[in-house]
């Protein structure tokens, strides 16, 4: 079934861009191409995109820096591409706000599948009851608007940070292992390591604590994982 949506791919290798573009266009996506991070940021300011694919190693502005800049302004999913496989690159990418991470060489079909899965998770607006706002002491989570407020202040979260918080909040009091959170929030086809969860929890706590001295809502259960607990 064909998809629709505007995808921006930034990679300094024309052949790589062409390959990804062909596979995405075959699925019905509209694709724009940028040759470096600066051009990608310029395109984002001039147009509207549903997802960005960023290569890490690019001239002028690299992918990690571009990702950081994107997160300051835009709430759209970001997939990082890299020829490197070191853990430090993966962790740094997630800390800067990336939602998924694909290491070269990769299967174009796998990348397309990840694009579709990420768009489903971050862009779907269902008619389910959980679209209504969930309210906790000092915390409001609005599923339809994908907004979070702490003590009346809107908190800027990445798509994946929002999904993690919302999932835990919907299962208040239940403990989830890191493996379970990777499966439920990132999807069964995500090949990240367990530190991905820790990185996102850390970022969530930092952003929430910036507006409130109350508990961070996400509690560590040592030796097991994490759970959501609202302060009383």
Please determine, for residue 194, whether its predicted confidence score (pLDDT) is greater than 80.
no
Please determine, for residue 156, whether its predicted confidence score (pLDDT) is greater than 90.
no
Structure tokens at 139: 């915390």
Q: What is the pLDDT of residues 14-40, one digit of tens each?
A: 999 999 999 999 998 989 999 999 999
- Every domain of the chain and the residues it spans: 6-123, 129-228
Tell me, yes or no, if the two domains 6-123 and 129-228 fold the same way: no
CA gap 122, 157 in Å, rounded:
12
Report, at the CATH architecture level, how domain 129-228 is classified. Answer: Orthogonal Bundle (1.10)
- pLDDT attached to residue 123: 58
Structure tokens at 62: 């690299």
CA 58 to centroid of chain Cα atoms: 21
Please determine, for residue 137, whether its predicted confidence score (pLDDT) is greater than 90.
no
Please determine, for residue 131, whether its predicted confidence score (pLDDT) is greater than 60.
no
Helix axes 14-26, 108-123, angle to 10 degrees: 60
Task: Report whether 29 contacts 53 (CB < 8 A).
Answer: no
Task: Report whether 157 contacts 205 (CB < 8 A).
Answer: no
With a threshold of 0.85, does the pTM exceed it? no
* Interstrand relation of 51-55 and 78-82 (parallel, antiparallel or unpaired): parallel
Higher pLDDT, 126 or 86: 86
- Tally Cβ neighbours within 10 Å of residue 79: 21
Structure tokens at 145: 């608007």
Q: What is the pLDDT of residues 212-227, one digit of tens each?
A: 765 578 999 998 999 9
Report, at the CATH architecture level, how domain 6-123 is classified. Answer: 3-Layer(aba) Sandwich (3.40)
Q: What would the mean pLDDT of 130-140 be, rounded to a whole number? A: 74
């Amino acid at each position: 079934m064909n998809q629709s949506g505007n995808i921006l791919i930034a990679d300094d290798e024309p052949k790589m861009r062409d390959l990804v573009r062909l596979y995405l266009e075959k699925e019905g996506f509209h694709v724009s191409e940028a040759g470096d991070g600066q051009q990608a940021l310029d395109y984002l300011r001039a147009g509207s995109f549903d997802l960005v694919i960023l290569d890490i190693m690019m001239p002028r502005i690299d992918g990690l820096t571009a990702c950081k800049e994107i997160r300051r302004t835009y709430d759209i999913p970001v997939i990082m591409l890299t020829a490197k496989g070191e853990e430090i690159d993966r962790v740094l990418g997630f800390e800067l706000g990336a939602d998924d991470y694909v290491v070269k060489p990769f299967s174009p079909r796998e990348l397309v599948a990840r694009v579709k899965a990420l768009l489903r998770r971050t862009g779907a607006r269902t008619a389910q009851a959980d679209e209504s706002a969930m309210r906790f002491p000092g915390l409001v989570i609005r599923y339809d608007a994908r907004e979070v407020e702490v003590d009346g202040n809107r908190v800027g979260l990445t798509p994946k940070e929002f999904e993690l918080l919302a999932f835990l909040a919907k299962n208040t009091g239940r403990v989830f292992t890191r493996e379970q959170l990777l499966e439920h929030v990132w999807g069964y086809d995500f090949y990240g390591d367990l530190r991905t969860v820790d990185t996102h929890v850390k970022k969530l706590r930092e952003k929430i604590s910036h507006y409130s001295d109350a508990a961070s809502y996400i509690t560590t259960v040592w030796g097991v994982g994490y759970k959501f607990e609202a302060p009383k």
